[in-house]
Structures are given as structure tokens and as C-alpha cells.
Structure 1
Amino acid sequence: MRKPQRLGFIYLSIFVALLLTVMPMPQMVKLARPDWALLVLMYWTMALPQRVSVMTAFFTGFIVDVLVGTVLGVNALAFAVVIFAVAQHHLKMRNFSVVQQSLLLGMLLALYQLLLFWLSHFLTGVYFRPQYLWPVLTGMLVWPWLFWLLRRYRRQLKIQ
């Protein structure tokens, strides 16, 4: 497979994650929806930090802002901060087991949720509710399967 087609899979996976982000769901389930786009970006940043990094995260976050209807730049900034942390420590994170990665990514997802809340609070006056942290738990639970799936395709397509 040619190199541009291989790199297209990275952007295809981000596109699918964006679709999962805006997929209609019942209200009870919607509160616990994992942050799919951020999880996929975290994987690609850990695996290929030279291909997917802060700028990709910023643009993806901006697209999430447009799709979800939040204040422009809130998700973009939060994505960029979290992906910067992943890019800085990607070599260490690769050596962790999937369970350890899941716990560490849970902390980064909590950072993301708290950044979102903090920015939204100052811009629109939103107040904190514990339900905002449900995506952290579901993201931690989804991570092993997402990691396995993306790593399998990355190795099968020889994406480097």
C-alpha cells in the first residue's frame, strides 16, 4: 500500500471518531459517551507523534466545537493541552501495560473535562456537576479495545 493511503487511515479513524462524537444517543447514555476523538488522537500521538501532534489535535478540537455547538476554541484548546502532554511523554507511555495506560489516560481525560468545565464556566457561566466526569470512566473502559483495534490496523497496514 502506498504511503498516502496508509496515512489516510489515520485521518479516516479520526473522522470515524468525530462521527461517534455526534452520533445521536438517548440522554442517559449521552452523558457517559467517551471522548472518542480525543481517545483516537491520544493513540495516534503515542504511536506516531511525528504524524499526529498538537496542531492535528487543535484542528480536530475545532471541528468538535463546530459539530457539538460549543464556544469556538474551547475543545480545540483542551485537545491541544492534553495532546501536548501525551506527545511529551509518549515514549514512557508506550512502555506501560494497557491497564496502566488506561489509568494514565483517565487522568488526562479528567484534565480535559476539567479544562472544558473551567473554560465553559468563565465563558458561559456553567456550573460543575459530577456527571461531567462519566466520560472519564467510560474512556478508561473503552481504551483497551480501542488500543487493540487501532494497533492491529496500524501493524496490518504498516503505518509508520
Structure 2
Amino acid sequence: MLKHGTFTLILTYLVALVLMVMPMPAAFDTFRPDWVTLVLLYWVLAIPHRVNMGTALILGVLSDILLGSVLGVHALGMVVVTYFVARHFQRFRNFSLPQQAILVAFLILLKRMIVFQANVFIHDAEFTASYFWPAFTSAVFWLWLFPLLRKIRRHFKVA
């Protein structure tokens, strides 16, 4: 039997995975927020006893499969970022929403740097400045996503 709220967790992960691969105009695709990492960060903050690095590993591998990247590249980035948030979740919770958004920008930037360095190591990826725009847009969307997911968590009593 599934724990209470597990369906809600899985549904939010699926929505984030769909948003990650949903077609967008080329001009906006550069600015696509890192939806999966944002949703993962929220749940690690909200219920760290249920969402942890194992969840990050699974979501990272699913991201690698959906994006067609080398298996484990996104998983590595998500696990590192999740470890940092899980380790300091009580401190993170005490920050105001704008402060959390700034920290989220740095975490997404860290994840993207890890993914980029892994891609450089594997197949000589080339750097473009637009590679880091999602860190900024993710921080902006955190201001909207955090209250939305908190409302969903409270409505469906996810604990």
C-alpha cells in the first residue's frame, strides 16, 4: 500500500518531467526553467524524511532518458544539489521566499555546471553563456512554484 500523498508526489514529478520536454519556440527554449530540480527541491524542503537523494537519483536518470543525454549526468547534478538542500533544509526553510529564490538560482547554477563539466568530460561540449539562463528563470519561477506546491501539499495532506 502506498503512503498517504505518494500519488500526489508522483504526479508532481510527472508534470515536471513533461514540462521539461514540452515543445517550446526556439527563442524561449533557452530560458526553460529546470522544472524537475525545482519540484525536487520543494519536496526535499517540505518532507525531507520522504524525499531524499534516492529520489534525486531516480528523477535524474529519468531526466537523462527523456533528454537523451548520457545516463547519470543529470542524476549526478541532482544528487549533489539534493544533498546540499537535505543537509541544510532547516536553515533553508527559515529564509524568506526571495532569499530562497536566490539560493535556488545558485543551486540550479551548480547543477548545470556539474552537468556541463560531465558533458565536457564525455564528449567535449562547447560552452555558451545561454546555458546558464535557466538558473535565473528557475529562481523567478520559484517565487510562483513554492506557494503553489505548498498549497497542493496542504490540500492533499502530503506528509
Q: So what's the TM-score if we normalise by structure 1?
A: 0.96
Equivalent residue, structure 1, for 2:93: 94
Equivalent residue, structure 1, for 2:126: 127
Equivalent residue, structure 2, for 1:41: 40
Q: Report the aligned-residue RMSD.
A: 1.2
Compute the displacement of 1:5 (Å): 4.8
Equivalent residue, structure 1, for 2:68: 69
SS at match of 2:51: coil
CA offset digits 1:106-158 (Å, max 9, x no partner): 11011011101100001010021110111001001000110010000111122
Instruction: Tell me, yes or no, if structure 1 residue 85 matches structure 2 residue 84.
Output: yes
Percent identical: 42
Amino acid at match of 2:129: P
Equivalent residue, structure 2, for 1:142: 141
1:11 and 1:3 map into 2 onto residues whose CA distance is 11
Larger relative contact order (CA 8 Å, sep ≥ 6): 2
Please say if residues 4 and 158 of structure 2, whose CA atoms lie closer than 8 Å, have aligned partners that are also in contact: no
Q: So what's the TM-score if we normalise by structure 2?
A: 0.97
Compute the displacement of 1:28 (Å): 1.4
Q: Give ranges in structure 1 of 5+ residues lacking alignment.
A: none
Compute the displacement of 1:7 (Å): 1.8
SS at match of 1:4: coil
1:112 and 1:70 map into 2 onto residues whose CA distance is 15
Q: Give ranges in structure 2 of 5+ residues lacking alignment.
A: none
